[in-house]
């Protein structure tokens, strides 16, 4: 059974390699081959994941499947195996990564059908899937790091997929470099942990078993550094700026990055290290605070954006903020639950947006849309469901997961975080319905020849709409008459705080109220007619320019670094280092020339050197012997 784990990871990689090789040999127009190979990989991995999930569902909560593929590095005691593990957390991740991944693959087959580099796209796509599965299934942090890096690489390849445009390359570079900053934190954290644990059997299980022996401040350091890695991958303040730019990739890529893979990696990693974060709750609180700020900040920016994909990008960042609030405050299962439900509705939103974009011949500005309800009925209905879900309207899935997070924030006594999160909930409803109303309601535009969307693109929307509507029912808590099924299945070590049912009702009511206020505002402002916002006031222009954070980073970091490197090139290197070096070199060369003079070609001199050498040697030996 556990060998299946190897295949879950291996199949996408194999299919990526196969498609890549075929593509390189020049067989580029055979779309059917790429479609079948491309979709089959996540489908098979998904089926195997279901088996794994079924197996784990049937056994007790602490059963963990392990399998070792091969020994990778063995240097003395340092011993790293390419090994995989699956517990219930993994099973949940596997399920939605492969399920939603498959749907996105099917959708992509329709979306990309006219692209010349179709085969290359699917090869990269499966590389992405494989990397994410490797990350999730890793039995030790080293292998997880390999997956982590591969996710960064494949996202780079996909974001820069339309490489003919220099702007896209820039976006890809930005994503890659900011992720590297995060990865640096991650690798340092692993190194510190490795040294502290003295390296033996560096697997999650052994780390968990030995974490108690470590100093608390050391654990806090490791936790912080790990979170730096999570900041990069999961786009939290301050390493979030790559995420909106990552929209440069094809829309299915955005769907994959935002829903099934990549951005969830950071949340998953924190949950995977839950045993570590439970030792240092104050680090967790910091994480939650960053999450809350990110959530609010992104929601504010999203409210003023006019590019449909950017709105969704900022909403992802905002929702990720919620997830970090949850995992930071120790409500791991609520966090993962939100990852789970978010995957459905965010994938749906992106794919719906992609459908709109295709229908309007690659128009992304929402203010050039309007009234599309009549033309794109199915897209409208499904996106409406997704919007309801993300805004937290019961009984759609987002309500239950978000409610659980807000309840956890309230119960833990971090009222500041709770308030920010509640405010964000209102903003979420506002900007999401703003988008929906502008695109599908507001009067306005005449459309000529809207193409018929292929079934490959529409059916996945329907499936996801069903998911977005009902996935939340898996985790209804006791207050609403459920049994808290998701949390008890996933069995993470939550730091739980009890809350009375009355309080939960009150909170739930408040959330719905906030969402309704946001919706109402959006309706009033945009449902009939919509104008593009103009940055006429200071506040508006500040938000519209995304708080000038990109410019700030450019000034503070990029230019400073450039200046420093120019200086070290021109002054330190050219004058200082080279100068000293030249001094040494010329001295050494002179010495060499003098020494070569001894090499005068006369054998009697050579004999003299030898005899002199022997004489000195003999003296030295005499001295040594005397000492004996």
Partner 1 sequence: MLEQLLLILPMAITVIGAFFLMLLSWNKRFTLKDYNLVAVFFLMLSFIVEFPQLSNTEIIYIFPEVFGTMYIIDNFSTLFDLMFTAGAILTLLINTDYFKSRNYFNGEYFALVLFSVFGMMTLAHSNELVTAFIALEIASLSVYALAGYHKNNRLSTEAMLKYMILGSMTGAFFILGTALIYGAVGSTTLGDIALFIKSASDSESLLVITGGTFILVTILFKIGAVPFHSWVVDVYHGAPFPVTMFMASTFKIALFAIALRLYLVDFAPINVIWSELLQVITVLTLIGGSWLAISQDNLKRMLAGSSIVHSGYMLIAISSIGLGSQEAAPAIMFYLMSYFLSSVGAFGILSFIASRSNKALTFKDFKGFSQRRPYLAAMMAIFMLSLSGFPSTIGFLGKFYIFTSAIESGQILLAGLGILTAFISVYYYFKLIAMMYFYPTDEPQKKFPMDLSGVLIGLMAVLVIWGGIGTGLIPFIPGADGFIDIAKQAVLSLQ
| 290/224 Cα distance (integer angstroms) | 12
Minimum Å gap between C-beta 621 and partner 1 is 5
Q: Closest CB to partner 1 among 195 and 619? A: 619
Footprint of partner 1 (CB under 8 A): 70, 73, 585, 588-589, 591-593, 595-596, 598-599, 601, 603, 605-607, 609-610, 612-614, 617-618, 620-621, 624-625, 628
3-state secondary structure of 386: helix
Beta-bridge mates of residue 71:
81
CB 308 within 8 A of CB 242: no
Which pair of structure tokens corresponds to residue 66? 């392990």
Q: Closest CB to partner 1 among 536 and 623? A: 623
Minimum Å gap between C-beta 590 and partner 1 is 9
Q: Closest CB to partner 1 among 579 and 613? A: 613
**What is the H or E stretch that residue 81 is in?**
strand 78-86
CB atoms within 10 A of CB 229: 27
Q: Closest CB to partner 1 among 61 and 591? A: 591
Peptide bond before residue 80 is cis, with ω within 30 degrees of 0:
no
User: In terms of Cα–Cα distance, which of 271, 366, 340, 302 is closest to 97?
Assistant: 340
CB 105 within 8 A of CB 45: no
Minimum Å gap between C-beta 329 and partner 1 is 44
How wide is the angle at C-alpha 493 spanned by C-alphas 490 and 495, nearest 5°? 125
What's the farthest any 2 CA atoms get from each other in the chain? Answer: 109
Q: Closest CB to partner 1 among 74 and 513? A: 74
Q: Which residues of 385-415 are buried (b: 16+ CB within 10 A; e: fewer)?
A: bbbbbbbbbbebbbbbbbbbbbbbbbbbebe
Q: Closest CB to partner 1 among 164 and 624? A: 624
CB atoms within 10 A of CB 117: 15
Minimum Å gap between C-beta 619 and partner 1 is 10
Minimum Å gap between C-beta 598 and partner 1 is 7
3-state secondary structure of 119: helix
| 128/250 Cα distance (integer angstroms) | 14
Which pair of structure tokens corresponds to residue 541? 């222009």
Q: Closest CB to partner 1 among 51 and 609? A: 609
User: In terms of Cα–Cα distance, which of 310, 323, 337 is closest to 266?
Assistant: 323
| 304/526 Cα distance (integer angstroms) | 13
**Which residue in the block uniquely carries the two structure tokens 């599965």?**
133
Minimum Å gap between C-beta 9 and partner 1 is 17
**Which residue in the block uniquely carries the two structure tokens 């960053």?**
290
Distances in whole angstroms, Cα of residue 415 to Cα of each of 35, 226, 404, 511 = 50, 26, 15, 15
**What is the H or E stretch that residue 68 is in?**
strand 65-75
Q: Closest CB to partner 1 among 500 and 599? A: 599
CB 159 within 8 A of CB 253: yes
DSSP letters, 287-298, are: HHHHHHHHHHHH
- The answer to whether the Cα torsion of 624, 626, 627, 628 is positive or negative is positive
Q: Closest CB to partner 1 among 76 and 592? A: 592
Q: Closest CB to partner 1 among 79 and 307? A: 79
Q: Closest CB to partner 1 among 552 and 612? A: 612
Minimum Å gap between C-beta 366 and partner 1 is 51
Q: Closest CB to partner 1 among 80 and 289? A: 80
CB 33 within 8 A of CB 106: no
Which pair of structure tokens corresponds to residue 78? 């340092």
Q: Closest CB to partner 1 among 558 and 591? A: 591
DSSP letters, 299-356, are: HHHHTT--BHHHHHHHHHHHHHHHHHHHHHTT-HHHHHHHHHHHHHHHHHHHHHHHHH
Q: Closest CB to partner 1 among 47 and 146? A: 146
Minimum Å gap between C-beta 578 and partner 1 is 14
Minimum Å gap between C-beta 198 and partner 1 is 22
3-state secondary structure of 125: helix
Minimum Å gap between C-beta 581 and partner 1 is 10
CB atoms within 10 A of CB 125: 32
Q: Closest CB to partner 1 among 215 and 626? A: 626
| 239/354 Cα distance (integer angstroms) | 26
Minimum Å gap between C-beta 412 and partner 1 is 48
Minimum Å gap between C-beta 625 and partner 1 is 6
Minimum Å gap between C-beta 610 and partner 1 is 5
CB 324 within 8 A of CB 264: no
| 156/238 Cα distance (integer angstroms) | 20
């Amino acid at each position: 059974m556990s060998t299946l784990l190897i295949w879950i990871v291996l199949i996408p990689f194999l299919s990526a390699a196969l498609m890549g090789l075929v593509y390189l040999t020049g067989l580029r127009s055979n779309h059917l081959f790429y479609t079948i190979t491309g979709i089959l990989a996540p489908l098979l991995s998904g089926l195997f994941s279901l088996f794994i999930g079924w197996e784990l569902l049937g056994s007790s909560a602490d059963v963990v499947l392990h399998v070792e593929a091969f020994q990778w590095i063995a240097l003395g005691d340092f011993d790293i195996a390419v090994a995989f593990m699956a517990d219930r957390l993994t099973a949940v991740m596997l399920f939605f990564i492969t399920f939603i991944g498959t749907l996105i693959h099917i959708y992509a087959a329709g979306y990309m059908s006219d692209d010349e580099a179709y085969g290359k796209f699917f090869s990269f796509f499966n590389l992405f899937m494989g990397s994410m599965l490797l990350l999730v299934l890793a039995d030790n942090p080293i292998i997880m790091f390999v997956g982590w890096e591969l996710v960064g690489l494949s996202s780079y390849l996909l974001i820069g997929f339309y490489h003919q445009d220099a702007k896209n390359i820039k976006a890809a570079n930005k994503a890659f470099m900011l992720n590297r900053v995060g990865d640096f934190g991650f690798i340092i954290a692993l190194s510190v942990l490795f040294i502290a644990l003295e390296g033996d059997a560096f697997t999650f299980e052994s780390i968990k078993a030995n974490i108690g022996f470590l100093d608390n401040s050391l654990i806090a350091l490791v936790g912080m550094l790990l979170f730096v890695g999570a900041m990069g991958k999961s786009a939290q303040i301050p390493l979030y700026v790559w995420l909106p730019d990552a929209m440069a990739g094809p829309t299915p890529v955005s769907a994959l990055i935002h829903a099934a893979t990549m951005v969830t990696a950071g949340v998953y990693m924190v949950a995977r290290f839950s045993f570590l974060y439970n030792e240092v709750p104050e680090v967790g609180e910091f994480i939650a605070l960053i999450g809350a700020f990110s959530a609010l900040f992104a929601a504010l920016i999203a409210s003023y954006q006019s590019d449909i994909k950017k709105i969704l990008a900022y909403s992802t960042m905002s929702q990720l903020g919620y997830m970090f609030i949850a995992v930071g405050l120790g409500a791991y299962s609520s966090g993962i639950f939100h990852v789970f439900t978010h995957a459905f509705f965010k994938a749906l939103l992106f794919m719906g947006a992609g459908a709109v974009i295709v229908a309007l011949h690659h128009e992304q500005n929402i203010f050039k849309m309007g009234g599309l309800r009549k033309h794109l009925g199915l897209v409208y209905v499904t996106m409406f469901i997704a919007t309801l879900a993300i805004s937290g309207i019961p009984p759609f899935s987002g309500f239950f997961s978000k409610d659980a997070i807000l309840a956890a924030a309230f119960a833990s006594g971090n009222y500041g975080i709770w308030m920010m999160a509640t405010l964000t909930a209102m903003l979420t409803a506002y900007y999401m319905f703003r988008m929906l109303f502008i695109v599908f309601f507001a009067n306005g535009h005449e459309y000529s020849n809207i193409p018929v969307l292929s079934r490959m693109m529409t059916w996945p929307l329907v499936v996801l709409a069903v998911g977005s509507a009902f996935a939340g029912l898996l985790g209804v808590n006791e207050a609403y008459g459920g049994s808290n099924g998701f949390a008890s299945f996933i069995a993470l070590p939550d730091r739980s705080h009890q809350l009375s049912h009355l309080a939960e009702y009150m909170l739930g009511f408040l959330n719905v109220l906030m969402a309704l206020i946001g919706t109402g505002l959006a309706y009033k402002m945009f449902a009939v007619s919509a104008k593009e916002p103009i940055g006429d006031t200071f506040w508006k222009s500040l938000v519209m320019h995304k708080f000038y954070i990109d410019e700030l980073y450019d000034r503070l970091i990029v230019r400073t670094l450039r200046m420093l490197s120019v200086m070290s090139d021109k002054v330190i290197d050219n004058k200082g280092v080279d100068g000293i070096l030249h001094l040494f070199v010329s001295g050494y060369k002179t010495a060499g020339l003098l020494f070569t003079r001894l090499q005068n070609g006369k054998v009697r001199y050579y004999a003299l050197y030898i005899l002199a050498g022997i004489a000195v040697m003999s003296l030295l030996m005499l001295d040594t012997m005397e000492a004996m």
